[in-house]
Copies of this chain bind each other. A is one copy, B any other.
Amino acid sequence: MTIRFDLLKESGRARLGLLHTPHGSFETPVFMPVGTQAAVKTVTRQELEQVGARVILANTYHLYLRPGAEVVEAAGGLHRFTNWPHPILTDSGGFQVFSLSKLRTITDEGVAFRSHLDGSPHLLTPEKATAVQNVLGADIIMAFDECAPYPCTHEAALAAVERTTRWAARCQEAHRRPDQALFGIVQGGTFPDLRYKSAQELVKLDFVGYSIGGLSVGEPKSLMYSILDETIGLLPRERPRYLMGVGSPDALVEGVLRGIDMFDCVLPTRAARHGTAYTSQGRLNLRNAKHARDFGPLDDACDCLACRQHSRAYLRHLYKAGELLALRLVTIHNLRYLFRLMEEIRLAIREDRLDSLRGERGGTYEP
């Protein structure tokens, strides 16, 4: 089987769904923690399960370079290599090849680049990116796309859209594993006409699901939301929709209100490693001196390991002392914060009151 998407309920444009994959099912809207290098930084599988993660993301670009697809293949695929038996999604490497690699040259064939690790030369093409993802064996894989930067001229964004469509067709052609669901990626920068063109062309190619790429790359959030408003209606109602690289608490609510089903973002885990905790009273910087004798939990409302066991003062001490345990405890907390928010969001859709959740929580999450 590939994936199956059951649309359980709609409330305005927001949707409640169930996505079935060969490695299990999960409810949508869903947040997917990012395991760039086949590990969600600092946390174990058990901790991910405990905070509520049901599907994680891994990065094709990173794993292709290290440890190499052949090592993951020898292990029996990503699920066995990582010992994560639940659904996995891989991106195509398209975004990373633009943001991380050096000396890249884009032609219609693909992207020639040098590794950010050792400078070695590589060529990633739609065929290669698909073959690597077939080897990695994630449940959901992405077409290889060209992500235009922000800001960007209409001309350059148009060229990226046209190339993304041509490459999407080549990915479909190259895709060899019917047990993996291939998603197309809508590009078009911040130009409504190009988003329209990209969506229309990809929908013609009939993908199992659709990603929206090229957002949250530096544009104002209001612009991202208006582009979502323009784009969503073009995508088939019965297919899952994935907003790539977006996961701040407010953007999760705003994205779901506009009809998004899936999100991923490094923000909550990265923020934790920098000492920032999400709380129901807003963000909290644990390095701040005011927490030195603050013996309450990070968030009274939270049921995570860090909040049940440790005080802000202790966590602050761990950060100041350079203890890695802090990074881990606050990663668990921030993930749990987002998963509790997603639970609230799904409940609010069920009860047709997502708009009022936005109101209620308007002051408590921040951009």
The chain A residues found within 8 Å of chain B, CB to CB, are 37-39, 41-45, 62, 66-67, 71, 74-75, 81-83, 292-293, 295, 305, 309-311, 313-314, 316-318, 320-321, 323-325, 327-329
Contact = CB atoms under 8 A, between A and B. Distances in A.
A66 B321 CA distance: 7
B293 A41 contact: no
B41 A309 contact: no
Contacts of A320: 66-67
Max chain B Cβ within 10 angstroms of own Cβ: one of A67, A305, A313: A67
Given A67-B320, A309-B45, A320-B66, A82 B328 contact: no
Contact of A328 (B311, B321, B328): B328
The secondary structure that dominates the A interface is: helix
Contacts of A292: 67, 71
Given A314-B83, A317-B37, A42 B324 contact: yes
Contacts of A325: 39, 41-44
Contacts of A44: 305, 309, 325, 328-329
A329 B81 CA distance: 15
Given A293-B71, A295-B75, A83 B324 contact: no
A36 to B, nearest CB: 9
A318 B260 CA distance: 33
Contact of A81 (B45, B74, B314, B323): B314
A42 B328 contact: yes
A146 B318 CA distance: 29
A323 B82 CA distance: 13
Contacts of A67: 292, 313, 316-317, 320-321
Nearest to A68: B292
Contacts of A293: 71, 74-75
Given A42-B325, A71-B293, A81-B317, 12 more contacts: A37-B318, A41-B323, A42-B324, A42-B328, A44-B325, A66-B320, A67-B316, A67-B317, A75-B293, A75-B313, A75-B314, A324-B328
Which 6 pairs between the two chains have the least Cβ-Cβ distance?
A37-B321, A67-B317, A39-B323, A42-B324, A83-B309, A39-B325
Given A309-B83, A324-B324, A317 B71 contact: yes
B74 A314 contact: no
Nearest to A325: B39
